[in-house]
Structure 1
Amino acid sequence: MTVIRTATAGLALLLAAACTAPTPPRSQASTAGGTVCTAPQSAPGEEKPTTIDVVEQAYFCILANYYSGATLDARSLLIAGFIALTQELNRNGHDVPEATMPALKGDRKADWTAFEATFRKVTDQVPDLHVKLAVATLEAMVASLDDNHASWAHDVKGRHPDYYEGDGYGLGLQANVDGDRNLGVALPPLFVTTVQGGAAQKAGLRPGDIIESINGSAPFIDGKATPAIAALFPRYPQDPPVRLGILRESTGRRWSVSLKPGLYQRDLATLQTVQSKLLKDVAYVRLRGFAPDSANRVLKAISRLRTSRTLAGVVLDLRGNSGGQITESTRLLSAFIHGKVTHYLCTVDDKCESLRTDDTVELLNLPLIVLTDRGCVSACEHVSSAVKDLRIGKLVGTRTAGLMSGPAQPYLLSNNTVLAFPSRHGLGADREEINRIGVAPDHHVPLAPQDAAAGRDPALAKALTLLHK
């Protein structure tokens, strides 16, 4: 699936969340050229080609329903779209005199009419590129929102034609940089944290191996991450092999490997949303995402672990948690505190709806430590910020991702693709801004290459120490 400015949850989870997310203040429908964008009630049908009419529908859908759509300068969408159009022409070895940006005057409808007329003049000259140009234009419009919960899911069949449930795609490794979305906050050295399978496993890579170069380029220069790191996260079958320079500190060995992106079967543990175990007298629960019923599964796991024994507390491991349904994160928080506001969802004019605990959930009455990292996003940051603001427990690890603009609402376009973006902006329980900032831990405990190589978990060790003070 190609997802531009992707949100944290997958398409299936996004559709499920639409049924449980708080109702946005504005209508979930808007008219554009007689076509309405609405929240999908089921999985979309077969995808149809993207045309300028679909771009028009998306344009007016954003203006009518996006969090800041009422105050957004619509010209920014059109300019971004036209830039992408001209770049796509160039990539395909074409340019036409008609590809000149029309004058825009700030009238949303009139400006669209001028934009569409120019688009049609251009594509009349290169009809074989009509769909490519429409796709590039719409992708750029969504990207111009610069919103980590705004996405356009399309080309579902074209990305991984042989993708099966349980498969992973990529190099088969995880590093201490969470994808290519947080490069600005990444710290050297770059090293392997987990080998999941695929090319990395075949090449004999291990946790703790330091990645000194990527395709001949340094991953960090003067302590700052370089664009080279993005090559670790391939998305498409046509992506080329990635050549890595590796250092294994325990032996001093240096060598290079060429890893070809591909499908691989992920380990069963990485597919389980909830994992739990007893660590002496502490209930340890790892939650990888806020999928439907995940809160109940966590609470049942804790209940089983405390059967016939007294627990010193709970360690909730949210590292790498991909977010999901805010109703689930609210329910989980409600097992630790009642009668509180955990989050705010606000309109652009600062009219906010408060999300309150569900006081029908039975309190656990157990001390809580939450493990966080840069892979904790969205609904995960809802939990992390509330735990800190409401003093429910302590956060241990590293700062969260800061990918929390607001819950994404999906909208079905006429070609059976899904546009999604927030209708309201999320704030923490103290009304603080979390998006792009993240939630700082109470105890900063990063993972070092030596820890990964030895299989040590310093954040978990710190959490257990805090519970036994």
Structure 2
Amino acid sequence: MTVIRTAAAGLTLLLVAACTAPTPPRSQASTAASTACARPQGAPGAETPTTIDVIEQAYFCILGNYYSGATLDARALLSTGFTALTQELNRDGRDVPEATMPALTGDRKADWAAFEAVYRKTTDQVPDLRDKLAVVTLEAMVAALGDNHARWAHDVKRPPDYYDGDGYGLGLQANVNGPQVEGNPGVALAPLFVTTVPGGAAQAAGLRPGDVIESVNGSAPFIDGQATPAIAALYPQYPEAHPVRLRLLRQSTGRRWSVTLKPGLYQQDLATLQVVQSKLLDDDIAYVRLRGFAPDSADRALRAISRLRTGRTLTGIVLDLRGNGGGSPTEAIRLVSAFGHGKITAYQCTADNRCEAMRTDDTVELLGLPLMVLTDRSCASACEHFSSAVKDLRLGRLIGTRTAGVISGPAQAYLLGNNTLLSFPTRHHLGPDREVIDRIGVPPDHYVPLTPEDAATGRDPALAKALTLLHK
């Protein structure tokens, strides 16, 4: 399974060497070819092994194209990559004397040459680990950017018995988002509780909305109000998908008990898989839930509002963006353009603060209706682009909780020589008021969090607040 599904052009770099012999030096021509990176055109060819040449290509691709590549301290990439290499050697019990980090001076080319020389000496001592060491090194270098929109998409070889499916059948409170918790535990709010039980192991174990999770695999999800890494086990990524043991509290009865949930496939409600859902509330309010900014999602949402408007006078719109993980910035702009024209919705900026304004699409017809937007900690990326535009431009009100703070900038993909994709922002995202949203999020105009009691009784206080404001 690929980590990120993206189309790319085919380009194959074939390297042939005896697995037990040191890798021979390359010519200047081959070095130049390996360090070039290009935007993909079409479908990729078959993935070939990751090598030191591919790592070099990614290194210079980042320095040449990442939004802050010109000012980035490249030594951080190399030292983080070398740390991952030595840790992998230790895990395999195969440490070698040559695995010593070279001195780095800040000269990007000279530092790479020193790194490469030591890397080759090290991996030549453990040829059977060469592929794995290359993968962990490049993964660590990309992670060193600390950018939530930087990814390296490559095939991950799962063992035959590895589970890869729908999960535990467990929906958690809106203020928790797994990838965010792992990188920034401060985004989660206690307590950790169940919001939905769509099926699977959680349903079979009798879990209900409102059940509070007091421990995950024996560890508390919060200590002194601060989220712990234990929460990340509920959002498994390869190779961590294993049965998880939970200690639960049902507040309505005081019952405490433990269950073990094994991840697996289960039948999902098709309605929850729809990107756009709509209905009429109180006979005159259009409710639209948008689960992602997928292609054509803005037009689908607008068509849904138009259908609800047929034969009646609407008094407002509730747009539910809770759980919306983002998608296309173009779709976010197109949707916000139905509520305001002639506006700047965001800026895309370089590290030296040269910014390009993103503007409303004034070909979209204005709806001319009051807008309430429901947000939570799982509203990320393009969802935050939309939410910040609504808030800053006073096109409506945000209700719920702060958004995710996962909007460093739109990612651009680059094809590497082994037919894998490296993607990262070439520009940094700022809100309409030139404010930083990444890692901070967009605060709601009305803070209305969900509680375990709300989940247990089926109440939706954020939606109730939106309806109250529209009826004033």
Regarding TM over 0.5, the answer is yes
- The SS at the match of 2:357 is strand
- The SS at the match of 1:34 is helix
Superposed displacement of residue 196, structure 1: 2.6
Larger displacement relative to structure 2 (85-94 or 409-418): 409-418
Q: Describe how 1:401-412 pairs up with structure 2 within 5 A.
A: 401-412=404-415
**One of 202, 206, 217 as aligned partner of 1:215:** 217
Equivalent in the alignment of 2:172: 175
Superposed displacement of residue 240, structure 1: 2.4
Distance 2:57 2:404 in 1: 32
**One of 338, 344, 352 as aligned partner of 1:335:** 338
Kept after mapping to 1: 8 A contact 2:454/2:461: yes
Whichever of the two has the greater Rg, that structure is 2
Superposed displacement of residue 180, structure 1: 3.7
**One of 5, 19, 22 as aligned partner of 1:11:** 5
* 1:107 to 2:100 alignment: no
When normalised by structure 2's length, the TM-score is 0.91
Equivalent in the alignment of 1:276: 278
Kept after mapping to 2: 8 A contact 1:159/1:236: no
Equivalent in the alignment of 2:266: 264
Distance 2:364 2:44 in 1: 35
The letter of the residue matching 2:37 is C
Distance 2:223 2:206 in 1: 27
RMSD between superposed Cα atoms in Å: 2.0
Superposed displacement of residue 435, structure 1: 0.7
Q: Write the deviation string for residues 355-394 of structure 1: whole angstroms up to 9, x where unpaired.
A: 0001111101111000000000011001110101000000
Equivalent in the alignment of 1:297: 300
Equivalent in the alignment of 1:387: 390
Equivalent in the alignment of 1:375: 378
Distance 1:173 1:198 in 2: 8
Stretches of structure 1 that go unaligned for 5 or more consecutive residues are 4-9, 16-30
Superposed displacement of residue 42, structure 1: 2.9
Distance 1:246 1:42 in 2: 49
- The SS at the match of 2:372 is strand
Superposed displacement of residue 236, structure 1: 2.8
Stretches of structure 2 that go unaligned for 5 or more consecutive residues are 9-29
Q: Write the deviation string for residues 144-179 of structure 1: whole angstroms up to 9, x where unpaired.
A: 00011111111256489999xxx9532221212111
The letter of the residue matching 1:105 is T
Q: Describe how 1:242-261 pairs up with structure 2 within 5 A.
A: 242-261=244-263
The 3 A distance-change label for structure 1 pair 403 and 133 is same
Distance 1:121 1:369 in 2: 61
Superposed displacement of residue 216, structure 1: 1.1
Equivalent in the alignment of 2:23: none
Superposed displacement of residue 267, structure 1: 2.0
Equivalent in the alignment of 2:318: 315
Distance 1:51 1:267 in 2: 43
When normalised by structure 1's length, the TM-score is 0.91
Distance 1:160 1:143 in 2: 27
Distance 1:86 1:351 in 2: 39
Q: Write the deviation string for residues 231-268 of structure 1: whole angstroms up to 9, x where unpaired.
A: 11112366321100011112222111001123334321
Equivalent in the alignment of 1:50: 50
Equivalent in the alignment of 1:425: 428
Q: Write the deviation string for residues 13-65 of structure 1: whole angstroms up to 9, x where unpaired.
A: x87xxxxxxxxxxxxxxx96413322223343322211111111111110111
Equivalent in the alignment of 2:289: 286
Equivalent in the alignment of 1:89: 89
Equivalent in the alignment of 1:40: 40
Equivalent in the alignment of 1:365: 368
Q: Write the deviation string for residues 427-458 of structure 1: whole angstroms up to 9, x where unpaired.
A: 00011111111000000000000111111111
The 3 A distance-change label for structure 1 pair 178 and 341 is same
Larger displacement relative to structure 2 (385-394 or 195-204): 195-204
The letter of the residue matching 1:417 is T
Kept after mapping to 2: 8 A contact 1:398/1:444: yes
Equivalent in the alignment of 1:75: 75
Kept after mapping to 1: 8 A contact 2:165/2:263: no
Distance 2:372 2:417 in 1: 46
Distance 2:97 2:159 in 1: 34
Distance 1:354 1:292 in 2: 22
Distance 1:347 1:412 in 2: 22
The 3 A distance-change label for structure 1 pair 262 and 372 is same
Q: Describe how 1:115-126 pairs up with structure 2 within 5 A.
A: 115-126=115-126
Kept after mapping to 2: 8 A contact 1:169/1:235: no
Q: Write the deviation string for residues 188-244 of structure 1: whole angstroms up to 9, x where unpaired.
A: 111011113221122121111110111111111111111111111112366321100
The 3 A distance-change label for structure 1 pair 313 and 159 is farther
Kept after mapping to 2: 8 A contact 1:212/1:244: yes
Distance 1:32 1:277 in 2: 59
Kept after mapping to 2: 8 A contact 1:210/1:449: yes
Kept after mapping to 2: 8 A contact 1:160/1:236: no
Larger displacement relative to structure 2 (167-176 or 179-188): 167-176
Kept after mapping to 1: 8 A contact 2:187/2:377: no
Distance 1:388 1:353 in 2: 20
**One of 201, 204, 207 as aligned partner of 1:202:** 204
| Percent of residue pairs bearing the same amino acid type | 74
Kept after mapping to 2: 8 A contact 1:180/1:233: yes
Distance 2:41 2:409 in 1: 21
Kept after mapping to 2: 8 A contact 1:373/1:399: yes
Larger displacement relative to structure 2 (413-422 or 176-185): 176-185
The 3 A distance-change label for structure 1 pair 342 and 396 is same
Distance 2:161 2:363 in 1: 45
The 3 A distance-change label for structure 1 pair 214 and 199 is same
The 3 A distance-change label for structure 1 pair 276 and 40 is same
Give the number of equivalent residue pairs: 445
Distance 2:61 2:434 in 1: 28
Distance 2:322 2:356 in 1: 28
The letter of the residue matching 1:400 is T
Distance 1:60 1:354 in 2: 28
Distance 1:252 1:457 in 2: 23
* 1:225 to 2:227 alignment: yes
The 3 A distance-change label for structure 1 pair 159 and 336 is farther
Equivalent in the alignment of 1:236: 238
Larger displacement relative to structure 2 (119-128 or 250-259): 250-259
The letter of the residue matching 2:136 is A
